[in-house]
Amino acid sequence: NLKILSNTEITGLVQRGRTVLGVRIGTGEAATEILARETIISAGALQSPAILMRAGIGAAPRLHALGIDLLADLPGVGQNLQEHPGVSLSAYIRPHARLGNKSRRHSHIGLRYSSQAEGCGPGDMFAMVATKSAWHPLGDRIGTLLYWINKPFSKGHVDIENADSATGPIANFNWFSDPRDLDRLVDSTIMMAAVAASPEMQPHVVRPSPSSYSGWAKLLGRKSFSNYLMTAPVAFLLDAIPALQPAFVKQFIGGGRTLDNFVKDRSEIEAFVRAGVFGQWHPSGTCRMGAATDRYAVTSPDDGRVHGVDGLRVVDASLMPTIPRANLNIPVIMIAERMADAIRRNEAG
């Protein structure tokens, strides 16, 4: 009784009045409707709110401005976007300290720690060491110390530009709307810089630097033979002539910055954190659960039903009222288990 359609994109919801009858796949003449007693959207915290908004479920004024007919006025749709903001330091790893191909995984250590900043609670920070930074020979030689806020307070939002499902949603993470987030990442940068520059690390790495990977790193990140051919000679040269390594790290990884002069100036660190911040692939919270009387709640905490609409649930990371101080995979599975139980109970009457 289960049919999985892979590589199939939902282009809209099928609805009659306030009831969702199923989903639409494909567009134009090729559009097909899949009807069901109930529809469960699990498209993730960036796409689920977009699917709802395109179907007329969202903030009435915004949908009106987009020319989308209103199905349910739920101003919380797309709001409350949370992520784990992080930055990183990187260094050239000396040959003896590389893991090479001995291990499939490149991260072996995680550190959960507490900033002790007021109101942030225990375990509000996380750090991880990656012993290689990309698949190619150059990536094998660059280690990264990545650290992020496990309990951020800044909130952003997801929006759509129009009702066309071919236009992706726009995510605005609004990273440092809460000053506690900027402060903690700046403090952590000072702490991690001290770790990276410690005498214990020096035999193993060359010139730890704030990482500011530019477009070239992303281009080389694509797995291809030509990228291998481009990176292999540089990697060979850097190992053969160690005197080149500090300049390489400073220029191509640190964007001209070095750790020693950088940590002396808090405003410099702040600028680095603002420019270099990135998420950990943990968007959440954009169809937040909460009581039907809560104006900004989108879904029921009991069973994921979308308030004010029949036949529609959301079950994914977008339900989270607040981002957990942990990676999201297991929490999402826990949500799914709980909602599956609720659906079974509903079905049993």
Ligand X SMILES: Cc1cc2nc3c(=O)[nH]c(=O)nc-3n(C[C@H](O)[C@H](O)[C@H](O)COP(=O)(O)OP(=O)(O)OC[C@H]3O[C@@H](n4cnc5c(N)ncnc54)[C@H](O)[C@@H]3O)c2cc1C
Residues that bind ligand X (rule: CB under 6 A) add up to a total of: 17
Helices (H), 79-224: 179-196, 215-221
Identify the helix (H) or strand (E) that includes residue 20.
strand 19-25
Check: CB of residue 297 under 8 Å from CB of residue 303.
no
Residue 10 or 182: the one with the smaller Cβ distance to ligand X is 10
Our finding on whether 220 is near ligand X (CB under 6 A) is no
Residue 47 or 227: the one with the smaller Cβ distance to ligand X is 47
Our finding on whether 279 is near ligand X (CB under 6 A) is no
Among 15, 21, 22, 42, binds ligand X (CB under 6 A): 42
Our finding on whether 294 is near ligand X (CB under 6 A) is no
The residue assigned the tokens 């199923």 is 22
Strand partners, 39: 312
With vertex at residue 75, the alpha carbon angle to CA 71 and CA 78, rounded to the nearest 5 degrees, is 100
Our finding on whether 216 is near ligand X (CB under 6 A) is no
Q: Among the candidate windows 39-47, 189-197, 243-251, 286-294, which touches ligand X by CB under 6 A?
A: 39-47
Q: Which residues of 298-321 are buried (b: 16+ CB within 10 A; e: fewer)?
A: bbbbebbbbbebebbbbbbbbbbb
Q: Per-residue contact track with ligand X, 315 to 344, x per CB under 6 A?
A: -xx---------xxxx-x------------
Taking the mean position of all CA atoms in its chain, how far away is CA 282? 4
What DSSP line would sit under 257-311, residue for residue?
A: --HHHHTT-HHHHHHHHHHH-B--S--B-TT-B--TTSTT--B-TTT-BBTT-BS
Tell me if residue 106 is catalytic. Answer: no
Q: Which of residues 45-64 bind ligand X (CB under 6 A)?
A: 45, 47, 51
The residue from 136, 157, 282, 307 that is catalytic is 282
Residue 42 or 300: the one with the smaller Cβ distance to ligand X is 42
Among 26, 44, 75, 246, binds ligand X (CB under 6 A): 44
Our finding on whether 183 is near ligand X (CB under 6 A) is no
Among 233, 266, 281, 292, binds ligand X (CB under 6 A): 281
Among 282, 288, 305, 307, binds ligand X (CB under 6 A): 282
Task: Please report the beta strands in 51-93, taking only residues with DSSP state E, as ranges in sequence order.
Answer: 57-58, 72-73, 86-93
Q: At its nearest, how many Å lie between ligand X and the CB of residue 244?
A: 32
Among 10, 52, 55, 306, binds ligand X (CB under 6 A): 10
**Considering only CA atoms, which of 187, 185, 181, 188 is closest in space to residue 119?**
181
Our finding on whether 39 is near ligand X (CB under 6 A) is no
With vertex at residue 195, the alpha carbon angle to CA 96 and CA 213, rounded to the nearest 5 degrees, is 75
Q: At its nearest, how many Å lie between ligand X and the CB of residue 45?
A: 6
The contact set with ligand X (CB under 6 A) reads 9-10, 42-45, 47, 51, 281-282, 316-317, 327-330, 332
Residues with a known catalytic role: 282
